[in-house]
Amino acid sequence: MSFLANLGQTGARRVVTRGRFTRDGRCLFTGLLEFVPRTRNMGQSFFCASSNHYRCFSATAAHLNASSSPTANQKTPSYSYIIVGAGSAGCVLANRLSEDTHESVLQLEAGPKDMVLGNLRLSWKIHMPAALTYNLCDDKYNWYYHTLPQAHLNNRVMYWPRGRVWGGSSSLNAMVYIRGHAEDYNRWQTEGAEGWDYEHCLPYFRKAQCHELGENRYRGGSGPLHVSRGKTNHPLHKAFIEAGQQAGYPFTDDMNGHQQEGLGWMDMTIFKGKRWSTASAYLRPVLGRPNLKTEVHCLTTKILFDGNRAVGVEYTQKGQKKRAFADKEVILSGGAINSPQLLMLSGVGNADDLKQLGIPVVQHLPGVGSNLQDHLELYVQQQCTQPITLYKAQKPFHMVKIGLEWLALFTGYGATAHLESGGFIRSRPHVTHPDIQFHFLPSQVIDHGRVASKVEAYQVHVGPMRSTSIGWIKLKSANPLDHPILQPNYLSTDVDVWEFRECVKLSREIFTQKAFDPFRGSEVQPGPQVQSDTDIDAFVRQKADSAYHPSCTCKMGSPSDPMAVVDSNTRVLGLERLRVVDASIMPSIVSGNLNAPTIMMAEKAADIIRGRPPLVDPGVPVYRPPTLDTQR
């Protein structure tokens, strides 16, 4: 999702790395130091890897499926578990699996740490909530993916930022904490993910969470993931919620609780004014464990197999090819793009595709890279007649003031991503649970935040939650350095076209309510000239963009499902000692942002891996609307 316009970058010309874009854009608070003072509760900065927890042996075993081997006679360490990726899921697994002191864990992250100055300070570019567009529009901490030209979006190439740093995309996202609807997880159960219904997932949402409003049946109160409620007193956020009620939608006091439906205040993964990524919540506090070793700048290039058993991985670090071996399991947590890519590079995927690239087939699984799903969204923007948007906050003088306040106190405009209100509605009668999501922002976003706001304006991000357009991921080549081919097939069904048309109409309806009368100027986009269905459809094709929620590319399902990749225990089908745990194993996309569900899945998978009985909340109430007519 592209968020806060230019509270990450504005102004002078800058060439974005690798020559992919030349944009008007510079980072917010450019005069500020590149670090955040540490506080006592941020966890330790260093780990101590006791050699007692790791075994070493020669890496030149002839039976491994490797075309080349590392340096001769190199001693190769062995661990209980190897986790590939330190993102939203990987950090959770590193924490939970290393709780067992008799097990050893190696975590390999392709990117850097989220820290600077010899690991003594947190990077403000990540941990200042308002600076989020800085990393969305740069590739220092970002894989910087792009899709194929989209035939139904005027052949536009879509930009997909994905985290390549400790915390993964939880270090880049807008910090909105949304779980999705209970029926999303009940649907997973019917799609073959046995034991992943809402009764079995809710306890893991609660286990992960420490909500500032305290514990109840839906909220957790003692987990490592701090979650706060939007605290803004901004009149435009209040106007949006009030306008929704005037349009006939209910107010919900907790869209992650009993009733998702309605408009209200968002939950955020922000703690004491700082981004609370999974690196902050799960990884840094346990770096001192002697049985946990973390490595950064490690590009994992291949899973090593002995027959159909995963026995380790091959990776490159600082130009050197290395190997590590797992006594128990290799666990992929690279996300919806990197996990299927690594599987295919290792010979696990559609056999015909692999053979064309000269990759030896280890296991024919045609579902690897298939079933790609994402949330597409667009912005409906309105000029504001009062100077109360974030337009002035993007001016140099105000940016410096905001930055200095944040560095000193972790308060003010720098301490939020400003997406503090939003909600979920049903698009039409007989829809049983919400299928449209809103995020409201008291500012204007242009081109993922790479271009400065032009006017005082506010906007709503809106899109359908359960698209029927399905895509795929394939390898471009057998070279691990080549980004895979991404084909989401956006807007390729008539249902999706109709739903987006409704999204525009419903957003306009909210903006015309009395609550916005003191603020409403002319419509910026789509613009007053866009009125007919044909014109709205053309606007959608020109302006819709990714919400940055790719998922479902290694879907969980029954072994009888020919397109399933992992079973309900997250094990890769047909192989031993290999799992995938991240957003790629979702059977279908959920109704909301994906960070919270991914963390939940990792918590649940950790119990599965450790052989613990599953948590369950039998009979947990699920909200049913009093009528299947829409609330309007």
- Catalytic residue positions? 549
Q: pLDDT-derived band of residue 257, with 50, 70 and 90 as boundaries?
A: very high
Residue 576 to residue 558: CA distance in whole angstroms = 16
| Residue 587: pLDDT over 80 | yes
117 and 364 Cβ atoms separated by less than 8 Å: no
Mean pLDDT of the 293-320 span:
98
| Residue 478: pLDDT over 90 | yes
- Known binding residues for FAD: 165, 173-176
Q: What does the buried/exposed string (b/e) look like for 409-425 if buried means 16 or more CB atoms within 10 Å of the residue's CB?
A: ebebbbbbbbbbbbbbb
375 and 589 Cβ atoms separated by less than 8 Å: yes
The secondary structure element, H or E, covering residue 580 is: strand 578-580
| Residue 495: pLDDT over 50 | yes
Q: pLDDT-derived band of residue 65, with 50, 70 and 90 as boundaries?
A: low
Mean pLDDT of the 456-476 span:
98
Q: Which residues contact 407 (CB under 8 A, 6 or more apart)?
A: 32, 33, 36, 37, 124
Q: 8-13 long-range contacts, Cβ below 8 Å, gap at least 24?
A: 8/130, 8/131, 8/132, 8/133, 8/134, 8/135, 8/136, 8/137, 8/449, 9/133, 9/134, 9/137, 9/449, 9/450, 10/394, 10/399, 10/452, 11/396, 11/452
Residue 564 to residue 572: CA distance in whole angstroms = 9
Q: pLDDT-derived band of residue 53, with 50, 70 and 90 as boundaries?
A: low
User: Domain map of the chain by residue range?
Assistant: 78-610
**pLDDT tens by residue, 373-416:** 999 999 999 999 999 999 998 888 888 899 999 999 999 999 99
Q: Where are the alpha helices (DSSP H) in 76-151?
A: 90-97, 124-127, 132-136
Q: How far apart are the first and last CA of the chain?
A: 27
Six token digits for residue 54: 């790791």
| Residue 630: pLDDT over 90 | no
Mean pLDDT of the 465-469 span:
97
Q: Report the CATH architecture of 78-610.
A: 3-Layer(bba) Sandwich (3.50)
Signed CA dihedral, 29, 32, 34, 35: sign only: negative
Q: pLDDT-derived band of residue 4, with 50, 70 and 90 as boundaries?
A: very low
- Known binding residues: 165, 173-176
CA angle 138, 139, 143 (to 5 degrees): 130
